[in-house]
Amino acid sequence: MFKAYKKFWQNYVNFSGRTTRADYWWFTLANTIIWLIWIAVFAGVSVGPIMKYVDHGRFTQADTPMLGLLIVLLLLALFYALATFIPRLSLQYRRIVDTGLSPWWFLLVVIGKFLSVSAAAQNNAITAAVFFLNLAVFVISVSKTDAFKKEK
């Protein structure tokens, strides 16, 4: 897992070559673990101040250090998400190419990301489109190397 995570950062903007299923899914597992740890820490830190706010309708001066920590945690999450955005795209691009599909299939990922932002409007058609695009990308991601390669 650590080797795949290291390789992920070494190929930060490498949109050429291939990525094996193992490298793709080991990175995905590592990234998920990082986010789960962050969510657990954030939830643990935020419960106290949020409960005080719910009970009293305001924050007190004693909550200031915790609120500062919450802001730092949110900034760290934003930084990590932005720092991994382009590498995740390049990893997905290399995975698509590894399955034998044309690089044009990467448009599924791009359209999915664009529609995900639009799905915030809670439009059912857009949400359904995002679901099916993500499902297609998932199927491609779990496919074997050269699974879609056309034999000549």
* SS3 label, residue 146: coil
Rounded Cα distance, 81 and 28, in Å: 13
Note the maximum CA span of the chain. 72
Distances (CA, A) of 61 to 53, 56, 66, 75: 12, 13, 10, 22
pTM of the prediction?
A: 0.79
pLDDT tens string, the chain, 152 residues long: the values are: 888 888 899 888 888 888 889 999 999 999 999 999 999 998 888 887 777 777 777 777 777 777 788 889 999 999 999 999 999 999 999 999 999 898 898 888 888 887 777 666 567 777 788 888 888 888 988 888 888 887 75
